[in-house]
Amino acid sequence: MKRERGFTLMEVVVTMAVFGIFLIIIVILTAEMRQNEKRYPINYMAHPEVVAVMARLRKDIVDTKYYPMSFQGYSQSNKTLLLYTLKQTGFGETVVYDFRTAGEVHRKAFNATQLSSDWVARGVPDFEVGAFSLSTGQDAVRITAKDAQNQLAIDQIFLPRAHD
Amino acid sequence: MSKERGFSLVEVLVGLLILTIVITTTIVMFTERHRRLRQANETILAYQALSNEVEIWRRIDFAQLDGQLPTFQSDTSILQPLTPFNAAVKVDTPRADIKNVTFTVRWNKGQREAHLSILRADTGGKGLW
């Protein structure tokens, strides 16, 4: 009696066909995902540290009375933002946002010339500060950040509210 | 009596059915998750542009609101991944001293949209929000 071992040709063909179909589905899905990855910037707003930075910036800029040109060795640039903002107590403080260190945001608050708080956010994108003038003549602050593929991921305009 | 080995047809069919359910569910979950992440990303981009535009229109004098072009005045570079998109502004006057300004961004052939509205009141002042 002849004893057969192994698979028949039909079994191998059917198995490869089924495997091939799944492979095609996975390749199509992966290709579509890669295409979208290239098209869309990273969603930094899903990152709690980035949201915290944006929330603090918004609050400080909304309550800003003026922008000092320089303070304590810092000066206004696309990597440093200086502002004189109102605290909840009603008194003012000078706040310096320092974006010069890659992946970090430093917020230093000064009571007169005394450093009163120093807050750091890490693991954040590289922010840039830009001035933005409205047709009404008011000066806004424009905060932008790009992802590793140089795509604009954050672009926010903040304007101080009227205080007087 | 022959001694048979291997699986019966029913066992193979049940096994294949279970495998098909697992694989189909995984693929559906994968594509759905991917679709929702993409939509969330698009919405975040749209709302950044909308809030920027709100900041500008908040500062325009009440009397000049009707005279503005119904388009976005801010830089909409952030919306580039949604191209082609449509950004529009609509000013309604429900009462003489109140205007409702609605900002809308439409993309994906008009199938998706995000909008934001602000209410402006005639306070008699200038540059107020």
Which residues of A fall within a CB distance of 8 Å from B30? 29
Confidence class for position A2, pLDDT limits 50, 70, 90 = low
A157/B56 touch (CB, cutoff 8 Å), yes or no: yes
Measured in whole angstroms, the distance separating CA A27 from the mean position of its chain's CA atoms is 31
Q: How confident is the model at residue A108 (pLDDT cuts 50, 70, 90)?
A: very high
Taking the C-alpha atoms of residue B87 and residue B85, their distance in angstroms, rounded to an integer, is 7
pLDDT of residue A4 exceeding 70, the answer is: no
Query: Looking at residue A129, what is its pLDDT?
Result: 94
Strands B112-121 and B98-107: antiparallel
- Contacts of residue B6, Cβ cutoff 8 Å, sequence gap at least 6: none
Number of residues that this document lists for chain A:
164
Q: For residue A68, which of A91, A92, A52, A87 has the smallest C-alpha distance? A: A92
Provide residues of B within 8 Å CB-CB of chain A: 23, 27, 30-31, 34, 37-38, 40-42, 44-45, 48-49, 51-52, 55-56, 58-61, 73-75, 77-78, 80-81, 127-129
Interatomic CA distance for residues A78 and A129, integer angstroms:
5
| Residue pointed to by tokens 């291997």 | B6
Reported as a pLDDT band with limits 50, 70 and 90, residue A136 is: low
Q: Which value does ipTM take for this structure?
A: 0.77
Burial B79-92 (b: 16+ CB within 10 A, else e): bebbeebebebeee
Task: Report residue A163's pLDDT band, with 50, 70 and 90 as the boundaries.
Answer: low
**CA distances, A17 to each of A7, A14, A30 (Å):** 15, 5, 20
**Tens of each residue's pLDDT in chain B, 129 residues:** 556 678 888 888 899 899 889 988 988 898 898 889 889 999 999 999 999 999 989 888 888 999 999 999 999 999 999 999 999 999 999 999 999 999 999 999 999 999 999 999 988 765 554
pLDDT of residue B27: 86
The answer to whether the beta carbons of residues B42 and B112 sit under 8 Å apart is yes
